[in-house]
Amino acid sequence: MNQFKYISPKTIEEVLGILKQEKSEACIVAGCSNVLPYIKDKKLPAKLLLDISSIEELNYIKKSKGEIYIGAGTTISDLINSKIIREECNILYQAAEQFADPTVRNSATIGGNLADASPAADMAPPLLVLDAVLEVESMDGKREISLKDFFIGPRKTVLHDDEMITSIKIRDDSINKNGCFIKLGLRQAMAISLATVALILEVEKDKIADVRIAMGSIAPTPLRLINIEGFLKNKKINDELIEEAIKKVREEVKPISDIRASAEYRRYISGILFKRALKKFTN
């Protein structure tokens, strides 16, 4: 196993100072659930591990001026135990409940799950349909990145080497939405996702007034299905519409084959999961 230097900073400012100096040589860790496999396989290019798990200013869930803010160091268990998340961002609560097992949920963080940029990141689809915005910092200042613009490839993001995610913001127009999250894994919650779907749907006068769809594990990055949303909006839900939407979903996704499932199976199951999610609003 490769040798790594380990530092446990106590403040965000300390982390940013190290990142500015070390850049690509440093890797931020918290729960380590994503990083340990890379270390074991000797695929982690960084030589310095920055453990941010003890930085209290990264661990919070709060509401301010109608918007919800989640610190990047907030664990998945913290999301489950939060009344704000359970009542006002329930789709994120659903995803957190299905995330891995209790031991992993106690250490894995929401910021780490996003920064790892896995196509199978369970937190990404619900946050995509919530139109989440990432707040990132470096020694040069702060900036906001819409989550839909964050992922650019498998385990690749627009984040600079000297930047870190500090919080996730959910705007007031995405709070208290009706949504559902469905995950398919080989061993249910403990498995890496074969496919996931997050769906927000609001119906007014028998027609779809608002619809947001995102899926995971069916493309090189977590994917917001904007074209399908446009197709569904202002239409009345019926069996014919659902079947046509399923066809469009399977055309839109870009799955790969790996040891867990073939691309063909993922394409097929993407339509099934979408139908299950949509049916939750019609039954």
pLDDT tens series, the chain, 283 aa:
567 899 999 999 999 999 999 988 899 998 666 666 666 666 677 789 999 999 999 999 999 999 999 999 999 999 999 999 999 999 999 999 999 999 999 999 999 999 999 999 999 999 999 999 999 999 999 999 999 999 999 999 999 999 999 999 999 999 999 999 999 976 554 457 899 999 999 999 999 999 999 999 999 999 999 999 999 999 999 999 999 999 999 999 999 888 888 999 999 999 999 999 999 988 6
Those residues with Cβ within 8 angstroms of residue 14's Cβ, 6 or more apart along the chain or in another chain: none
Confidence at residue 259, expressed as pLDDT on a 0 to 100 scale: 85
Confidence at residue 3, expressed as pLDDT on a 0 to 100 scale: 75
168 and 63 within one domain = yes
96 and 42 within one domain = no
Other CB atoms within a 10 A radius of the CB of residue 168 amount to: 24
Distance CA 12, CA 131 (A): 25
Confidence at residue 185, expressed as pLDDT on a 0 to 100 scale: 78
Identify the sign of the CA torsion 33, 39, 40, 42: positive
186 and 161 within one domain = no
Q: Are strands 5-7 and 48-51 parallel, antiparallel or unpaired?
A: parallel
222 and 143 within one domain = no
80 and 170 within one domain = yes
Tell me the angle at which helices 239-252 and 263-280 cross, rounded to the nearest 10 degrees. Answer: 150
The CATH number linked to 158 is 3.30.465.10
Distance CA 235, CA 282 (A): 14
The CATH number linked to 187 is 3.30.390.50
Cα–Cα distance list, 19 to 24, 48, 96, 107 (Å):
8, 10, 29, 23
Which of 174, 201, 233 terminates a domain? The answer is: 174
70 and 146 within one domain = yes
149 and 77 within one domain = yes
130 and 188 within one domain = no
The CATH number linked to 17 is 3.30.43
The residue count of the chain comes to: 283
273 and 183 within one domain = yes
- Structural domains in the chain (count): 3
184 and 102 within one domain = no
272 and 163 within one domain = no
Which of 106, 140, 174 terminates a domain? The answer is: 174
Distance CA 241, CA 195 (A): 22
Q: Six-digit token pair at 243?
A: 């079947």
Q: Which residue has the tokens 């399908």?
A: 228
Those residues with Cβ within 8 angstroms of residue 199's Cβ, 6 or more apart along the chain or in another chain: 129, 179, 180, 181, 211, 212, 213, 274, 277, 278, 280, 281
Domain range for 273 is: 179-280
Identify the sign of the CA torsion 157, 163, 168, 169: negative
139 and 87 within one domain = yes
